[in-house]
Amino acid sequence: MTGHDVRGTLPEGLGDAIRATAEEIAALLRGVADTSVAVPGSEWTVGQAAAHLAQANELMADIAAGQERSYGDGTPQSLAAANERALADFEERGAEPLAGLIVTHAEAYLTAAGRRPTDGSGIVVTPLGTVSRAVLGSYLLTHMLGHGYDLARALRRPHMIDRTRVELSLPFLMTAMPRVTDAATTARLSAGYTIRLWGGARFGVTFTDGAVTVTPRPPARPDCTILIEPVTFFLMALGRCNPRGAIARGRVFARGRKPWLAPRFPGLFKAP
């Protein structure tokens, strides 16, 4: 393992996934002559998305090192505003320099994480609120995968999301779900969901009069069990995948006492 060895301080496989994802994103960018290409479904160009990734990796590395960094208040509106301010203050849009920065700051995160316990002890403040140190690395990986997917689509190259990386993203996604619930759509909702990734992890999401609880253990008697292909789950969670299209392609199935609750589930959340 190159750089600082984080085995024993991060969950198994997470450090390798962070490093590999950063390097694969950098490989996408290297050699790109025109970074003004639009990112599908976004107002950003390739250069802006890559600059945002470089800045976000630096932010996560600083947080892991114990620095306090203010970046919005966790709401989608404040995060969008913070992103635009940060991009306005950072003019680099060249593919090669940004590729290098994405890798350098990911390595800086791993170095900082290797120097601090990440067994769940300690709380850090992130753009989506407070999380444990154990979840911070999962956040970094999730963020890189989401924007790495966007860059791959823009450049018409294969993306780097797979089952293993999706499961490593789950600690952050489960932590974030209650914070991105859409109050307008969950008002007065009472329902229990089991989410099962094909061939892998499962967890529970329970709504009680609109309030949501996410637990590693599914409810004993869920109203609806959603079985979903892992990459589809990840893209849907980050707002990169149309739920109805995924159902039509056979990537999502539902069962239980109230299977009709499944199509409603993605709309209960608003990805920042």
Same domain for 56 and 190, yes or no, is: no
Q: For residue 258, with 0-12 CB atoms within 10 Å meaning exposed, 13-18 middle and 19 or more buried, which class applies?
A: middle
CA 179-183-188 angle, 5° bins = 125
| Residue 34 and residue 108 in one domain | yes
Residue 128 lies in a domain: yes
Asked if residue 109 belongs to a domain, the reply is yes
> Based on the structure, what is the number of domains in the chain?
2
Task: Tell me if 194 sits within 8 A of 227, measured CB to CB.
Answer: no
pLDDT at 69 over 70: yes
Evaluate whether residue 61 is within a structural domain: yes
108 & 214 share domain: no
Read off the pTM: 0.93
pLDDT exceeds 50 at position 2: no
CA-to-CA distance for 141 and 92, rounded, in angstroms?
23
Question: Of 106, 132, 165, at which residue does a domain stop?
Answer: 165
- Would the pLDDT of 8 be above 60? no
The residue segments making up the domain with residue 58 are: 14-165
Of the residues 111, 137, 165, the one at which a domain ends? 165
Mean pLDDT of 25-32: 96
Residues 63 and 97 in one domain: yes
The region of weakest confidence among 74-88, 141-155, 189-203 is: 74-88
Residue 7 resides in a domain: no
pLDDT at 77: 84
* One domain, residues 204 and 109: no
Mean pLDDT, rounded, for 196-211:
94
Residue 73 has pLDDT above 90, yes or no: no
CATH of the domain at 112: 1.20.120.450
- 3 found inside a domain: no
Same domain, yes or no, for 45 and 78? Answer: yes
Same domain, 239 and 203: yes
Are both 38 and 129 inside the same structural domain? yes
Give me the pLDDT at residue 75, please.
78
Q: What is the domain-level CATH number for residue 235?
A: 3.30.1050.10
Please tell me the least confidently modeled range out of 82-86, 111-115, 163-167.
111-115
Instruction: Over range 86-105, report the average pLDDT.
Output: 97
Across the chain, what does the average pLDDT equal?
Answer: 92
Domain contains 4: no
Q: Which residue has the higher pLDDT, 28 or 242?
A: 28
- The answer on 21 and 153 residing in a single domain is yes
Residue 56 has pLDDT above 90, yes or no: yes
Which of these, 148, 214, 157, 154, lies nearest to 186 by C-alpha position?
A: 214
Examine the domain organization and report whether 111 and 225 are in the same domain: no
In this structure, is residue 31 part of a structural domain? yes
Residue 177 binned pLDDT confidence (cut-offs 50, 70, 90)? very high
Please check whether residues 161 and 60 belong to one and the same domain. Answer: yes
Are both 139 and 193 inside the same structural domain? no
Task: Please report the pLDDT score of residue 115 as a whole number.
Answer: 83
Q: Give 155 or 67, the one with higher predicted confidence.
A: 155
- Tell whether the model's pLDDT for residue 272 goes beyond 80: no
Q: Report if residue 176 sits inside a domain.
A: no
What is the DSSP code string of 131-199? EEHHHHHHHHHHHHHHHHHHHHHHHT------HHHHHHHHHHHHHHGGGGB-HHHHTT--EEEEEEETT
CA distances from 144 to 14, 161, 242 (A): 13, 10, 20
User: Does residue 225 register a pLDDT over 60?
Assistant: yes
